[in-house]
Structure 1
Amino acid sequence: MKRPAKDTADSQRKITRRGLILGGAQAGFMTLLALRMRYMQVEQADQFRLLAEENRINIRLIPPARGRIFDRTGAIVAENAPSYRITMVREDAGDVEEVITRLSKLVELDPDLLKRARRELKELRGDTQVTVADRVSWDEISRVAVNAPALPGITPEVGLSRHYPGGGDYGHIVGYVGAVSDRDLENIDAPDALLLIPRFQIGKIGLEVKMEDTLRGTAGTKRVEVNAAGRVMRELDRKKGVAGQDIQITVDNELQAYVNDRLDGESAATVVIDCETGDLLACASSPNYDPNLFVRGISSADYKALLENKYRPLPNKAVQGVYPPGSTFKMVTALAALESGVAVPGDTVYCPGHLRVGGRRFHCWKRAGHGYVDLHRSLRESCDVYYYDMAQRAGIERISDMARRLGLGVVHDLPMTSVSQGLAPTNEWKLESKGSEWLRGDTVNVAIGQGYVLASPLQLAVMTARLATGKMIKPRLIKSINGVEEAIEPPEDLGLNENLLRLVRKAMYAVSNSNRGTAYRSRIVEDAFKMAGKTGTSQVRNITKAERARGVTRNRDLPWERRDHALYVNFAPFDKPKIAVCVVVEHGGGGSTAAAPIARDVTLQALYGGEPPLTAYPTADRARIKEQQERLRQIRPDRHKDKSDRA
């Protein structure tokens, strides 16, 4: 049956409409595809070109040179020494173990370092350079370079590593650097990308860590082209980083070296401070340690030796160690009483060898007593009873206020780790820390620098500089940064009665220069450099009533760790103070016999700017001093050369 023409026309119209719709859809799709292709090929061409180049171009960080550290005269204290090492990039190496096997045939690989490198190659990003061999020789570097085609991902490099030419002389001041640890990263918010480079060195203690941001610098970058095997073909370009800033410290290299040598064999600390600027001219803790041992990881044997040394070489005794200041505290007690008006300079106190307070006897070091003593004689001969009396008049609050005014019981702002606050105790402090009220006996103990009061050698040196000048001298370690001198603020006046200070200074002069003074044997006979000082001996054990009855055991008859600490503070020259010195000898016995001779020698060395003439010493001492000088010359002969030879 023939289909009607009308139906045929309708069918054709439907087919034509569907075709148009389908064709339009196809055309639209092709248009979109063309536009997308144009977008990707033209507008995103640079991005995709970069993605393609990343298959053969690596961008690597270039660690900056760490800022150097110099002494006040320009002598190098910390520098950067060239160090050859071999690094590996995991994603360029392919079969890491195969490459390591080949490398081990050319270079002797340290097992511990290799173990660490394997761990880092697994854990860190694939494009991170990991050190697989460190401190390699030039010959080893050459062998690796020659065999580079067979060592994909391996790069021989010349880096910089920290070196301390003075060895232990500056270990406690400057500290040392070491590889960045996980603990370091945890303590830093948003760590610099540099710190993620394996074994990148940062400051760990001392000035190195306190001035880390100044010394570190800013990383540079380099683009290198690598082939399909991961071998570096060429360096495309390099952007230099910014080296860390150089720092000049106030310490005098020769004086610091002398002090370290003079303290050799002792567990001791010495601080020398400039009375005008507050510059630390020397700051030594003995025994010291060589910071170079720590730079690339100290061995277990070396570290164990340091830990087991009973003289404790690791802590910085000069700023971290705190000790009962003993009789070096007596100037504080005297000024607290005199300034407050509860005593006058002419007051005398009778010393029968003890003072009874609250049913307890507090003894003077001189069992028979000193008789009637005033301020001058009490300091000159270090009578304890006079200060027991002055302390009860003044009270602990006035004594502690005076101590802080003179620099004790406060943290001095220095870029060194573990700077101690010490302790200038008060009634409130005892209530909070001990849960009990302050007693009269506590005040009597503090009067002579015993009991709860504690001070560091740094604080005692600051105290002495303030007594010598009447100024608020503040210790300073940084002299300049990148050649720009750090500003020195003129010290404020202490606000103490100058007449009282003169009386204290005169009494301190008698300590060293009167034949009845406790430090007379350690005096300076050169008129231009005569010093004023104060001895101190602080007990580290209780002396029982029975022991006093039969006679107190001499220090030399006690085990070392039970002997008294020996202290001495001084300033010189007396008429125009230039330096203040503090010496603490742990378990040294008496301040006059153990600490004062060291302080006298250090003072002369500082004032003369080198080895002093024998005529500066008392005649009876000259033969011994001559032998001592010859011994010190043998320890470090270069330091004792004539300055014209070194110029």
Structure 2
Amino acid sequence: MRRTPRETADSNRKITRRGLLLGGSQIAFAGVLGLRMRHMQVDQADEFRLLAEENRINMHLIPPSRGRIFDREGRVIADNENTYRITMRREDSGDLEDTIGRLAQLVQLDPEDVTRALEEMRTSPPFLQVTVADRVTWDEISRVAVNAPALPGVTPEVGLSRVYPQHDTFAHVVGYVGPVSERDLARYEDPEPVLRIPRFQIGKVGIESKYEEQLRGAAGAKRVEVNAVGRVMRELDRREGTAGADLQLTVDSELQDYIKARLGPESASAVVIDVESGDLLAIASSPSYDPNKFVRGISVPDYGALRENNHRPLASKTVQDAYPPGSTFKIVTALAGLAAGVIGPDETAYCPGHLEVGSRRFHCWKRSGHGHVNLENSLRDSCDVYYYELAMKVGIENIAAMGRRLGLGAAPDVPMSAVTAGLMPDKDWKRRERGAEWLIGDTVNASIGQGFVLTSPLQQAIMTARVATGREIMPRLVRSIGGAQVPLVGGGDLGIDPQHLRWVRNGLISVVNSPRGTARRSRIAADDKRMAGKTGTSQVLNRVVRNQDVPWEERDHALFVCYAPVDAPRLAVSVVVEHGGGGSTVAAPVARDIMLQALYKGTPPLDAYPSSDRDRIKTQQDRIARERAERAEAEGRRA
């Protein structure tokens, strides 16, 4: 059928439009190709020329700057310093032994480091850099850089490493960092790439470990051009990482350093807590160690010396160790008796020097006895028999309940390692853990802080702060994170009758200030800073023996807890001297000196001490000042 002229014209128009559309598309496509070719041949000519000459582009992670740690006054506790290191990448190095041999001609390499590096390179992905030498000098870095063409895959780098400018002062609190290990990586289900950066440091113990996520920050990245032998030609672009958050602690470096000097070579610990806020102003264990040695890789002899020291410098005694509290626990027994209504402030018990319980005789520390004593005198004289009788009336369940109300038997919530809960035993505990029934003798022993009862120095300080205020004081060690304040917790009413607390406090005031008080020689002479406290001596051996007649590790522990000022308490202090002997003669003087140092925020005037003690105190102050000055000078030389 022939088409009409009109149909033929319409068909021609359609063909023309299709031809125009097809031609336009072809021209546009050709134009895009032309522009792309121009971009690649002109704008990216240098980059492709490098690639054509066997260069390539690598991505490198940039380690973030770790957050710093400060004390309450802004003094640096943990910082970062620049260090130089030499790394190798297996996929760029070819013959590893040959490359390391040439490197060893330029830099002194530790055989152990070389062995470790070779093992890491053989077991790690080939693109990962492995540190061959750390903390090298600028001269060594320069020699490696100049000889880079002959050292394929070897890269000199500048990195950051942790440094603790106050050395051993905060070792047990802050802890230390170290290179990421396989054990560390195993803790993460999907480890971040930053953890695989060579010799990247993470927290191992203490606050460094507890706040690892906040302190670590986020890694950055850089794109670099490297040639065929692995030499970096230039940096193409860089994305900086995010620095870790800074932490400010509640502790005072000056006070902590003084405590360290005051404790001296003793195996001891001390805690100072603000009774209003719960802020820990000091939390010190002695002896200590230098965490910088762990950051750099502690030597076998150095680590062995720390492990073999019978004073246990690696132990954080303030939170990790638990001791029988001795007579400091009489505070708990007294409050339990008052709460149960089985005693009043004026009721007396007769102490002949011992108490017969069944077939066993329980002795008082004063063998001749104290005669008739009431509540205040029982605390003042630390009469054991009074508490033996009281405990049998009140029962272990009531004593344990009061102990828990005062903070015993539960691990304090502080970001330190291996925090102990101590032990506040009761009948269920013995049945569950020992498979035996609770005996009346167990109650008698517990009444004076012996037997199964165990407390840490930090728990002792919390107990004292709660007695001083009647409030549920909770310890705080971190003041702010990244500038944001960490809120206070606790502080509510303990639910203990205020009158009962006043009666017990009167006894604690007498302990220190009464002419017959067991800690009379350690009183504070300044009226506006008078102190209340309780001595304690906990037996290590279950027999009557003089401390000087047995080896050091079998001697009694000396304890003392106190708060001040008595009229408006601000601070509470606990001191434990391991195997020190009597709490009144050994621990109380230390606690008094620490309390005054904290109250005056520096060296106290001599008239704050009893006149009979001032000559000795002046000699002691001069010695401590001299030792601290020498220490500061030595640290300045090291820096």
Normalised TM-score (structure 1) = 0.89
Cα distance per residue 1:316-347 (max 9 Å; x no partner):
11001100000000010011011111222221
Distance 1:316 1:230 in 2: 47
Look up the match of 2:128: 128
Task: Decide which moves more: 488-497 or 266-275.
Answer: 488-497
Indicate which of 565, 573, 576 corresponds to 1:584. Answer: 576
Deviation, structure 1 residue 577: 0.6
Correspondence list, 1:228-239, <5 A: 228-239=228-239
Deviation, structure 1 residue 98: 2.1
Correspondence list, 1:86-101, <5 A: 86-101=86-101
Say which SS state the counterpart of residue 451 (structure 1) adopts. Answer: coil
Deviation, structure 1 residue 635: 1.3
Residue identity in the other structure for 2:172:
H
1:574 to 2:566 alignment: yes
Distance 1:80 1:149 in 2: 32
Contact 2:271 2:283 in 1 (8 A): yes
Residue identity in the other structure for 1:370:
H
Contact 1:611 1:640 in 2 (8 A): no
Deviation, structure 1 residue 555: 1.3
Indicate which of 605, 612, 618 corresponds to 2:610. Answer: 618
Distance 1:638 1:615 in 2: 27
Deviation, structure 1 residue 200: 1.1
Distance 2:308 2:626 in 1: 28
Task: Decide which moves more: 511-520 or 554-563.
Answer: 554-563
Distance 2:521 2:475 in 1: 30
Say which SS state the counterpart of residue 491 (structure 2) adopts. Answer: coil
Distance 2:613 2:530 in 1: 16
Task: Decide which moves more: 225-234 or 95-104.
Answer: 95-104
Say which SS state the counterpart of residue 541 (structure 2) adopts. Answer: coil
Cα distance per residue 1:1-46 (max 9 Å; x no partner):
xxxxxxxxxxxxxxxxxxxxxxxxxxxxxxxxxxxxx9xx99xx99
Contact 1:472 1:493 in 2 (8 A): yes
Residue identity in the other structure for 2:579:
H
Say which SS state the counterpart of residue 233 (structure 1) adopts. Answer: strand
Say which SS state the counterpart of residue 492 (structure 2) adopts. Answer: coil
Look up the match of 1:24: none
Residue identity in the other structure for 1:402:
M
Contact 1:422 1:454 in 2 (8 A): yes
Deviation, structure 1 residue 639: 8.9
Contact 1:633 1:640 in 2 (8 A): no
Distance 1:329 1:313 in 2: 27
Say which SS state the counterpart of residue 318 (structure 1) adopts. Answer: helix
Residue identity in the other structure for 2:332:
V
Look up the match of 1:324: 324
Contact 2:474 2:490 in 1 (8 A): no
Distance 2:157 2:198 in 1: 14
Indicate which of 574, 595, 620 corresponds to 1:628. Answer: 620
Contact 2:55 2:225 in 1 (8 A): no
Deviation, structure 1 residue 55: 6.3
Deviation, structure 1 residue 636: 1.1
Look up the match of 2:348: 348
Look up the match of 1:461: 461
Residue identity in the other structure for 1:559:
P
Look up the match of 2:289: 289
Look up the match of 1:437: 437
Look up the match of 1:4: none
Task: Decide which moves more: 451-460 or 145-154.
Answer: 145-154
Q: How many residues align?
A: 589
Cα distance per residue 1:213-257 (max 9 Å; x no partner):
010010000111011121110111111100110000000000000
Distance 1:519 1:373 in 2: 18
How large is the RMSD of aligned CA atoms in angstroms? 1.9
Deviation, structure 1 residue 554: 2.1
1:499 to 2:491 alignment: no
Residue identity in the other structure for 2:291:
P
Look up the match of 2:112: 112
Residue identity in the other structure for 1:519:
A
Deviation, structure 1 residue 561: 1.1
Deviation, structure 1 residue 145: 1.4
1:368 to 2:360 alignment: no
Look up the match of 1:560: 552
Distance 1:381 1:164 in 2: 45
Contact 1:179 1:296 in 2 (8 A): no
Look up the match of 2:312: 312
Correspondence list, 1:123-522, <5 A: 123-489=123-489, 491-522=491-522
Look up the match of 2:525: 525
Deviation, structure 1 residue 640: 9.8
Say which SS state the counterpart of residue 636 (structure 1) adopts. Answer: helix
Cα distance per residue 1:160-219 (max 9 Å; x no partner):
111001111101000000111111111222111111223211110000100000100100
Cα distance per residue 1:494-525 (max 9 Å; x no partner):
01110110111111011001110000001110
Residue identity in the other structure for 2:384:
D
Say which SS state the counterpart of residue 329 (structure 1) adopts. Answer: helix
Distance 1:219 1:432 in 2: 49
Distance 1:288 1:334 in 2: 36
Residue identity in the other structure for 1:567:
L
Contact 1:92 1:231 in 2 (8 A): no
Deviation, structure 1 residue 553: 3.3
Look up the match of 1:26: none
Task: Decide which moves more: 504-513 or 90-99.
Answer: 90-99
Residue identity in the other structure for 2:339:
E
Residue identity in the other structure for 2:72:
R
Deviation, structure 1 residue 575: 0.6
Indicate which of 597, 600, 604 corresponds to 1:608. Answer: 600
Residue identity in the other structure for 2:254:
E
Residue identity in the other structure for 1:77:
I
Residue identity in the other structure for 1:621:
D
Deviation, structure 1 residue 315: 1.0
Distance 2:124 2:416 in 1: 33
Normalised TM-score (structure 2) = 0.90
Distance 1:221 1:94 in 2: 25
Distance 2:530 2:260 in 1: 23
Deviation, structure 1 residue 558: 2.0
Deviation, structure 1 residue 93: 1.9
Distance 1:638 1:589 in 2: 31
Task: Decide which moves more: 113-122 or 450-459.
Answer: 113-122
1:597 to 2:577 alignment: no
Contact 1:458 1:582 in 2 (8 A): yes
Contact 1:223 1:238 in 2 (8 A): yes
Distance 1:77 1:574 in 2: 33
Distance 1:99 1:170 in 2: 42
Deviation, structure 1 residue 97: 2.1
Distance 1:55 1:346 in 2: 93
Cα distance per residue 1:124-143 (max 9 Å; x no partner):
11111111111111111111
Say which SS state the counterpart of residue 472 (structure 1) adopts. Answer: strand
Distance 1:488 1:369 in 2: 46
Contact 2:509 2:531 in 1 (8 A): yes
Contact 2:474 2:489 in 1 (8 A): no
Deviation, structure 1 residue 490: 5.9
Residue identity in the other structure for 2:481:
I
Distance 2:60 2:260 in 1: 43
CA, structure 1 residues 639+492, in 2 after alignment: closer, same or farther (shift >3 Å)? farther
Cα distance per residue 1:75-119 (max 9 Å; x no partner):
000000111111111112222222212211111111111111111
Say which SS state the counterpart of residue 255 (structure 1) adopts. Answer: helix
Task: Decide which moves more: 506-515 or 85-94.
Answer: 85-94
Contact 1:61 1:194 in 2 (8 A): yes
Residue identity in the other structure for 1:625:
I
